[in-house]
């Protein structure tokens, strides 16, 4: 049958390159059926609802703080090894129209665990709505697609195998979903260590969530436990920030100047509890934690008493030696128990 040749467009070349490097990754899928009904109800009650993409990016980044394997990558330079990053970089996939065709493009969000839900929402909606060529990462990718294939693929191979640069160019985890179209993908490909994927949320608040992972970096049991923790983190209505000793030194400020920060956290609509974590200069414990109940649904004094602290229903605090990921996990578990 006689047809016609259709030249590869820049977006098609980008997808082709991505698949070229994804196909060789020994990839396995682990899925968990999650009940997110409390989170669904809390989101529906908001006047300005954050997109589910922002919620899952934030939850997964918080999870990766606790599970370091999710922040590792298999790289080949200078020799085959695993490289661990200090924090996550999310690579989020968008479908945008460009020159009359639907283009699959990616943008990265650095340190999503430290960003507020409002910041993540603004970043995602900006990438969804701004003209394609006004989004710097989209523009750079489309320009790279014009470079001859051998050079383009060499640059991509180097970017994926230089440990220090890989997260800057590609991210540490990938999020790609079709749930907004009422569909889900069971085996999407990515060159990154993990790809987070979820389907439509049913009327009961249940959803299939899966992690597709590089078996060279981590194993199925680790991923299964990570999915269980992800469900706990996703349901945690916590707004939290952490001020380290390095932050004090960089700003030339002391602990007294941080007291008002928690009031900004209390202004976030999507949180039930606001928490301010501060490193202590001296004393028997490493960190001080201040808690505020945002909407009265959580008695923060109960949480503080579990750690030997005190206060009242709306404002409390405690000191602790827990490191930050352990502290986030503890607070989420306590908040979830009351919601």
Task: State pLDDT tens for residues 5-57.
Answer: 999 999 999 999 999 999 999 999 999 999 888 778 777 766 778 899 998 99
Query: Binning pLDDT at 50, 70 and 90, where does residue 73 land?
Result: very high
Over residues 86-99, the mean pLDDT reads 95
Q: Give one DSSP letter per residue of 105-147, joined into a string.
A: EEEEEE-GGGS-HHHHHHHHHHHHHS-GGGSHHHHHHHHHTTS
- Six-digit token pair at 267? 């202004």
Over residues 176-195, the mean pLDDT reads 85
Beta bridge pairs of residue 242: 277
Query: Binning pLDDT at 50, 70 and 90, where does residue 158 land?
Result: very high
Over residues 224-229, the mean pLDDT reads 89
Q: Is the pLDDT of residue 87 over 70?
A: yes
Q: Across the chain, which distance is largest between two alpha carbons, in Å?
A: 81
Of the candidates 57, 52, 55, the residue with the CA atom closest to the CA atom of residue 108: 57
User: Among all chains, which residue has been given the structure tokens 């349901």?
Assistant: 235
Over residues 136-159, the mean pLDDT reads 96
Examine residue 87 and say whether the peptide bond preceding it is cis (omega within 30 degrees of 0): no
Q: Is the pLDDT of residue 269 over 70?
A: no
In the DSSP assignment, the letter for residue 201 is P
Residue 217's φ and ψ, nearest 5 degrees, are -100, -40
pLDDT value of position 116: 77
Q: Residue count of the chain, please give it.
A: 339
User: Among all chains, which residue has been given the structure tokens 């695993």?
Assistant: 82
**Nearest 10 degrees: Cα torsion 175, 176, 179, 180:** 100
Query: Binning pLDDT at 50, 70 and 90, where does residue 270 land?
Result: low
42: left (phi over 0), alpha (psi -120 to 50) or beta: alpha
Per residue in 304-326, pLDDT (tens digit) is 999 999 999 999 999 998 887 77
Query: Binning pLDDT at 50, 70 and 90, where does residue 259 land?
Result: low
Question: In 211-290, which ranges are continuous DSSP H helix?
Answer: 220-234, 245-251, 261-266
Per residue in 274-297, pLDDT (tens digit) is 888 888 877 677 889 999 998 788
> What domains lie within the chain, and their CATH numbers?
10-234 (3.30.559.10), 238-338 (3.10.310.30)
Query: Binning pLDDT at 50, 70 and 90, where does residue 230 land?
Result: confident
In the DSSP assignment, the letter for residue 281 is S
Mean pLDDT of the chain: 88
The residue ranking higher by pLDDT, 69 or 337, is: 69
pTM summary value: 0.75
Beta strands in the chain (DSSP E): 27-35, 72-75, 81-84, 89-98, 101-110, 173-175, 194-198, 206-214, 238-243, 273-279, 287-293, 310-311, 315-320
- Six-digit token pair at 283? 């004393």
Of the candidates 82, 86, 63, the residue with the CA atom closest to the CA atom of residue 73: 82
Query: Binning pLDDT at 50, 70 and 90, where does residue 254 land?
Result: low
**CA angle in degrees (0–180, nearest 5) for 55-201-231:** 50
Q: What percentage of the chain has pLDDT greater than the value 70?
A: 92
Which H or E run contains 326? Answer: helix 324-338
């Amino acid at each position: 049958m006689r047809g016609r040749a259709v030249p590869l467009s820049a977006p098609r070349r980008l997808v082709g390159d991505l698949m070229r490097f994804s196909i060789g990754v020994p990839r396995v899928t682990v899925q968990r059926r999650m009940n997110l009904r409390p989170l669904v109800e809390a989101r529906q009650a908001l006047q300005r609802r954050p997109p589910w993409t922002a919620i899952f990016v934030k939850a997964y980044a918080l999870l990766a703080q606790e599970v370091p394997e999710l922040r590792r990558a298999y790289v080949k330079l200078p020799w085959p090894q695993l490289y661990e990053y200090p924090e996550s970089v999310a690579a989020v996939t968008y479908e945008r129209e460009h020159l009359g065709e639907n283009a699959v493009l990616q943008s990265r969000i650095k340190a999503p665990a430290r960003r507020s839900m409002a910041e993540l929402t603004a970043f995602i909606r900006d990438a969804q709505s701004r003209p394609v060529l006004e989004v710097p990462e989209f523009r750079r990718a489309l320009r790279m697609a014009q470079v001859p294939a051998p050079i383009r693929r060499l640059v991509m191979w180097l970017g994926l195998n230089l440990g220090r640069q890989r997260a800057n160019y590609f991210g540490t985890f990938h999020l790609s979903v079709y749930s907004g179209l009422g569909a889900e993908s069971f085996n999407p490909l990515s060159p990154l260590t993990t790809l987070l994927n979820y389907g439509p949320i049913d009327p009961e608040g249940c959803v299939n969530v899966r992690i597709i992972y590089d078996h060279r970096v981590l194993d199925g049991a680790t991923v299964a436990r990570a999915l269980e923790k992800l469900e706990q983190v996703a349901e945690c209505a916590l707004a939290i920030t952490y001020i380290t000793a390095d932050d004090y030194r960089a700003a030339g400020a002391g602990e007294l100047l941080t007291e008002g920060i928690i009031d900004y956290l209390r202004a976030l609509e999507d949180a039930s509890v606001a928490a301010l974590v501060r490193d202590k200069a001296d004393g028997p414990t490493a960190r001080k934690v201040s808690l505020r109940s945002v909407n009265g649904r959580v008695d923060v004094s109960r949480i503080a008493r579990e750690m030997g602290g005190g206060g009242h229903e709306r404002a409390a605090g405690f000191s602790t030696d827990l490191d930050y990921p352990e502290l986030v996990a503890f607070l989420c578990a306590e908040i979830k128990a009351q919601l």
